[in-house]
Amino acid sequence: MTQEEYRSEITLNERGKEVIRVDEEGFHYKGEFIADAGEAHRLMVAFLKRNTAQPESEVYYEFSVLNDEYCTEAGGTAPTLLQAIDEGKRYFAHYSQDGLYTLEVRRVEIIPAPY
């Protein structure tokens, strides 16, 4: 067997173009040899983050009917802000109320924390 048949190489592409190549010479980023291991690691992690599917967020729609004393008489099932934080997630909520403040609608999104 020839030397070419034993060649070992890993190539990572983005949109059909080679971005990262690891071969017997070392780490290459966009055709440029990267000698610094820390810089190579940073570039590899950035590439993987860009090209790895992120977990989807959970979305809840809730409503509350408010009586004369502004007490909630109906609600929903979304986690609370503290529950989301305890699980290491981000919490985003958008509230809308009618003009008489008798109906409140909420859209709650629980967003997984970035890696």
Say yes or no to pLDDT of 72 above 60. Answer: no
pLDDT of res. 87: 79
What distances in angstroms separate CA 61 from CA 20, 54, 93, 106, one per listed residue? 43, 22, 10, 6
Helix, strand, coil % in the chain, rounded to nearest 5: 20, 40, 35
pLDDT of res. 4: 60
Burial tier of 108 (Cβ tally within 10 Å: 0-12, 13-18, 19+)? buried
pLDDT of res. 29: 96
Q: Mean pLDDT over residues 6-25, rounded?
A: 87
pLDDT of res. 69: 54
- Is residue 27 very low, low, confident or very high in pLDDT (cuts 50, 70, 90)? very high
If one counts every other C-beta atom within 10 angstroms of the C-beta of residue 84, the result is 21
Per-domain residue ranges of the chain: 3-50, 58-112
Between 59 and 78, where is the model more confident? 59
Say yes or no to pLDDT of 22 above 70. Answer: yes
Burial tier of 98 (Cβ tally within 10 Å: 0-12, 13-18, 19+)? exposed
